[in-house]
Amino acid sequence: MTTQTYEVLPEWVHISFAEQAAFKSVYGFAGSLGTVHLEGIRYIPQGVPAQTLLIYMHPATTLQLLPMPRAMAERGMHVLCAGSRYARNDSALIMENVVVDLGAYMRHAREVWGYQKVVLVGWSGGGSLALFYQQQAERPSITHTPAGDPCHIMSAGLMPADAFIFQAAHVSRAVTFADWIDPSVLDENDPDRRDPELDLYHPDIRPPYSAEFLARFRAAQLARIRRRTAWVKETLATLQRRGGKEMERGFVTHRTLAEPRFLDASIEPNDRPIGTCFMGVPETANSGPIGLARFSTLRSWLSQWSPDDTHCHGETCAAGISVPMLAIEHSADDAVPQPHTQRIFDAAASADKTKAVIQGGNHYFVGQPELLQQAVDLCQTWLRERHLVD
């Protein structure tokens, strides 16, 4: 296998398409009424033509600053880092709309740029998105969002990818949220009213946690989400009954990072660091401004964060894909729970599927250039064996 590297030329990408919406949900020009504007970065290795494009996409952020996409391009592969209409602001994000956005990039790649093959690469939160997209591209079925609003998946003409890489990715945003939310909160309007027996950061509660405590803790996490979801549905129904011009509402959910795995190495053990996570100190992140679902709209909550309502559930979606799949676990991942890669691998209906582990790899390969190159070698070999890259 060649390890030759190339100079990479970044190219700004702009795609737009018409879409009617009942109200504006994205700040600025990107979500101007009647038109959706998308931005991305295509990495092109200088002097290297290609018939295959790798697409990296996350529902809520942009991925061009991650080490993996650029490292893949430096090895001679064409790479697109695609941003959704909700790039860097997931407060109003609707997963069904992001699927349509990804479909616009896919069509542009094939019909405008002329790539014969496209590989979806789902990193972190992009894993369940890519699975959702591929499931719907192979067998479109979803006509409405979980809030009951019509969506455009059926009419978007989604084009399936030719292969799939699932790397350092979780089962879904909603499943992850159910494992992270702080169950000690007793009053959603007063985050200081808490049950000390469920407060992971109370000085009297220390790891290792008993099986009984974890069972009670997990049940209380799900119960809190379901109470919040019931309030969301009731509020949305009230707005709809009024029939006025108020159609949506934003709200704050406090304390959403209380994951026992980050503090107890005995839970699903791997090489992850303990007492920290990809967002820093867990107790600090629990009430910080960037926590999962910290700011949300009613519709976004149902689409993104409710495990009982979201359509974007990785295992369900994986059962509906048929293309070759490579699933990569990072054994020191400080974001994605250890079992998630295996769960997706087991659920995938692909006849050709491979699972690999990057031993010692953290979520972003921070300070790990040799492991980054190991991951690139792995992906390049797998793609070449399937005649997807030269």
Contacts of residue 214, defined as CB under 8 A and 6 or more positions apart, other chains included, come to 260, 267
Least confident interval from 32-36, 171-175, 177-181, 225-229: 32-36
Residues in the chain, how many? Answer: 390
Q: Tell which residue, 56, 53, 113, 55, has the closest CA to residue 77.
A: 53
Tell me what pLDDT residue 22 has: 80
Tell me what pLDDT residue 31 has: 66
CA end-to-end distance (rounded Å), the chain: 10
- The count of C-alpha atoms lying within 13 angstroms of the C-alpha of 33, restricted to the half-sphere facing its C-beta, is 4
* Amino acid identity, position 21: A
Pairing of strands 295-297, 117-123: unpaired
Residues 95, 156: Cα–Cα separation, whole Å = 14
The long-range contacts involving 210-214, CB below 8 angstroms and separated by at least 24 positions, are 214/260, 214/267
Taking residues 246-261, what's their average pLDDT?
A: 97
Taking residues 256-261, what's their average pLDDT?
A: 98
Residue 97: exposure state from Cβ atoms within 10 A (0-12, 13-18, ≥19): buried
| Centroid of chain to Cα 314 | 10
Position 332 pLDDT exceeds 60: yes
Tell me what pLDDT residue 69 has: 98
Tell me what pLDDT residue 60 has: 94
Instruction: Check residue 81 and give left, alpha or beta (phi > 0: left; psi -120 to 50: alpha).
Output: beta
pLDDT band at 127 (very low <50, low <70, confident <90, very high): very high
| Centroid of chain to Cα 80 | 17
**Alpha helix (H) ranges present in the chain?**
67-74, 95-111, 126-138, 173-180, 211-242, 282-286, 298-300, 314-318, 340-347, 369-385
Position 328 pLDDT exceeds 90: yes
Structural domains of the chain, with CATH:
8-172+311-385 (3.40.50.1820), 181-305 (no CATH)
Q: Tell which residue, 41, 148, 46, has the closest CA to residue 94.
A: 148
Tell me what pLDDT residue 174 has: 97
Taking residues 61-74, what's their average pLDDT?
A: 96
Arithmetic mean of pLDDT over the chain: 96
Contacts of residue 86, defined as CB under 8 A and 6 or more positions apart, other chains included, come to 26, 59, 60, 92, 93, 97, 98
Contacts of residue 155, defined as CB under 8 A and 6 or more positions apart, other chains included, come to none
Taking residues 211-221, what's their average pLDDT?
A: 98
Residues 379, 164: Cα–Cα separation, whole Å = 11
Position 23 pLDDT exceeds 90: no
Position 33 pLDDT exceeds 90: no
| Cα–Cα distance list, 299 to 9, 22, 95, 113, 180 (Å) | 39, 13, 10, 35, 21
CB atoms inside a 10 Å sphere around CB 269: 10
Tell me what pLDDT residue 289 has: 92
Tell me what pLDDT residue 24 has: 77
Peptide bond just before 337 cis, omega within 30 deg: no
pLDDT band at 53 (very low <50, low <70, confident <90, very high): very high
Taking residues 194-204, what's their average pLDDT?
A: 97
Q: Give the full edge-to-edge strand order of the sheet including 52-58.
A: 8-19, 34-45, 78-83, 52-58, 117-123, 163-167, 325-330, 353-358
Give the pTM.
Answer: 0.96
pLDDT band at 21 (very low <50, low <70, confident <90, very high): confident
- 357 three-state secondary structure: strand
Query: In the block, which residue shows the tokens 């200081």?
Result: 192
| Centroid of chain to Cα 92 | 15
- 317 three-state secondary structure: helix
CB atoms inside a 10 Å sphere around CB 168: 26
Taking residues 4-11, what's their average pLDDT?
A: 96
pLDDT band at 1 (very low <50, low <70, confident <90, very high): low
